[in-house]
Amino acid sequence: MRCLVGAGVVLVAALPEFAMADMAPRPVTIQTFQFQPAQIEIAAGTPVTWTNTDEIEHTVTSGTPEHRTPMFNASLKGPGAAFSVTFSKPGTYVYFCDRHHFMQGQITVK
Amino acid sequence: MSTRWQRVLSIATLCAAVTMGFGGAAVTAAPMSGMTDAKAAGLRVTLDTLLQEHAYLAAMATGAALGGRQADFKAAAGALDQNSIALSTTIGSVYGAGAEQAFLPLWRKHIGFIVDYTAGLAAKNKMQQDKAVSDLIGYTKDFGAFLHSANPSLSADAVADLVKEHVLTLKVVIDEQAAGHPMAASQALRAAAAHMQMIGDTLAAAIVAQFPDKFAQLQ
């Protein structure tokens, strides 16, 4: 029995994506004109939720100010406004606030 | 009561409120003494000095630009940016690296709009001037929101009003410079610089009230 259990543990451990995948939304807080945290790493299939706490409109726009991408572009008009995106494909996704270009963030999807 | 006096009273009330810990800090037996403690006074002097320096350097830069003195403009603009960096460092010393990194580009943004306005005057381009003024007024709301987020005892609207006054008083300086009225420009600059102390005092008082332990006098 111990061997079987041991084998089972090894088997699960060999499938880290299955064992470690976290589908709970990862929060990014927009506070004092910053994305907090500015850089996060998530498993594929994990949603990211941005919540604005500043009393001013911010956007969450994919890409960079110089090179926007069409993936997402949401306006969060004030405190409590939120927006979610589920990242299904591995890769690095950068984004920024279109009203304040110095606000930039990055999501790494494993 | 005129709207100008209403604004002055509301700002004075705000200063008194944050000094007395209206934002939630405990009211001490001598609520006004916080600003005379060395650390608190040092913060106030630093902010007042840097903000007034901002007004003077901005006027130096705009005057040089309007006078076609490129070398002077470059020198003044460089010193103005050093001042911006010093301001952001002061903000960072209180609110951390993240706030410092957010403050600097935000502060620089309004300087960009001032440059746009000055360029519009030089080119006699009314549309450019109007856009720059509109951008500056819009900016005041951004800046108010920034400081309110960092320090909830600072009303976003009150801060926006203070920055709006800064923008408008500096605009008078630039207008007089463009019109070739050095005496009027100098007098306007004294007023613009004096106003910066209102911003510095308000900000310092709010920060000290927010972090009383950080600014307590060492015994």
Q: What is the pLDDT of residues A38-85, one digit of tens each?
A: 999 999 999 999 999 999 999 999 999 999 999 999 999 999 999 999
- Please say if the pLDDT value at position B2 is more than 50: no
Q: How far is A53 from chain B (nearest CA, A)?
A: 8
Side chain identity, residue B205: A
| Site from A35, A36, A51, A55 to mutate, B interface, most B CB atoms within 10 angstroms | A55
Number of domains chain A is built from: 1
- In this prediction the ipTM stands at 0.79
Position B217 scores a pLDDT of 62
| B156 → chain A, closest CA residue | A55
pLDDT tens string B137-149: 999 999 999 999 9
- Cα distance from A101 to chain B (closest Cα, Å)? 9
Provide the residue range defining the domain that includes B204: 35-210
* pLDDT value at residue B16: 43
* Closest alpha carbon within chain A to B103: A33
Domain membership of residue B147 (yes or no) is: yes
| Residue B24 included in any domain | no
* DSSP per-residue codes, B135-202: HHHHHHHHHHHHHHHH-TTS-HHHHHHHHHHHHHHHHHHHHHHHTT-HHHHHHHHHHHHHHHHHHHHH
Tens of pLDDT, residue by residue over B101-111, are 999 999 999 99
Q: Regarding predicted confidence, which is higher, B16 or B185? A: B185
Instruction: Tell whether A40 is covered by a domain.
Output: yes
Global pTM reads 0.81
Interface check for B98 against chain A (CB to CB < 8 A): the answer is yes
Q: What's the pLDDT at B35? A: 54
Q: Which long-range contacts (CB under 8 A, 24 or more apart) does B212-218 make?
A: B212/B21, B212/B25, B212/B26, B212/B34, B214/B39, B214/B94, B215/B34, B215/B37, B215/B39, B215/B40, B215/B43, B216/B37, B216/B39, B217/B37, B217/B38, B217/B39, B218/B38
Q: What pLDDT does B215 receive? A: 86
* Alpha carbons A13 and A19: distance in angstroms, whole number: 7
Q: Report the domain count for chain B.
A: 1
Percent of chain A predicted with pLDDT > 70: 80
User: Binning pLDDT at 50, 70 and 90, where does residue B9 land?
Assistant: very low
B61-72 pLDDT, tens digit each: 999 999 999 999
Asked whether residue B16 is domain-assigned, the answer is no
Assign residue A90 the CATH number of its domain. 2.60.40.420
**Residue B2 is assigned to a structural domain of this protein:** no
Task: Please name the residues in contact with B194: beta carbons below 8 A apart, sequence gap of 6 or more.
Answer: B52
The nearest alpha carbon in chain B to A101 belongs to: B105
Q: Which amino acid is at B78?
A: G
Q: Which domain holds residue A30?
A: 21-109
Q: Which of B105, B149, B156 sits opposite A32 (nearest CB)?
A: B149
Q: Is residue A4 part of a domain?
A: no
Q: What is the pLDDT of residue B97?
A: 96
Chain A segment 9-38 residues within 8 A of B by beta carbon are: 31-34, 36
Candidates B191, B209, B163; CA nearest to B26 is B209
Helix (H, G, I), strand (E, B) or coil at B81: helix
Shortest distance, CA A47 to any CA of chain B (angstroms): 25
Task: Decide the pairing of beta strands A34-36 and A91-96.
Answer: unpaired
> How high is the pLDDT of residue B19?
40
CA A107, CA A79: separation in Å to the nearest integer? Answer: 23
Check whether B78 has a pLDDT greater than 60: yes
Q: Which of B95, B98, B141 sits opposite A56 (nearest CB)?
A: B141
Q: Which residues of B touch A39 (CB under 8 A)?
A: none
When pLDDT is averaged across residues B205-216 and rounded to a whole number, the result is 91
How far is the alpha carbon of A100 from chain B, nearest alpha carbon, in Å?
Answer: 8
Q: Given CB atoms, is B95 within the 8 Å cutoff of chain A?
A: yes
> Is residue A87 domain-resident?
yes
Tell me: pLDDT of A2 over 70.
no
Question: In this structure, is residue B163 part of a structural domain?
Answer: yes
**Facing A53 at nearest CB: one of B101, B142, B149:** B149
Query: Across all residues in chain B, what is the average pLDDT?
Result: 87
Residues in B touching A36 (Cβ below 8 Å): 98
Give residue B69's pLDDT.
97
CB contact under 8 A, B149 and A36: no
Which chain A residues have a beta carbon less than 8 Å from that of B156? 55-56
CA A15 to chain CA mean position, Å = 23
Residue A15 belongs to some domain of the structure: no
Q: What pLDDT, on the 0 to 100 scale, is given for residue B219?
A: 46
Residue B20: inside a domain: no
Q: Is residue B95's pLDDT more than 80?
A: yes
Q: Residue B58's pLDDT is what? A: 98
Mean per-residue pLDDT, B162-174: 97
Residue A37 inside a domain? The answer is: yes
Looking at residue A5, its amino acid is V
For B113-137, the pLDDT digits (tens) are 999 999 999 999 999 999 999 999 9
Residue A8 domain flag = no
* pLDDT over threshold 80, residue B27: no
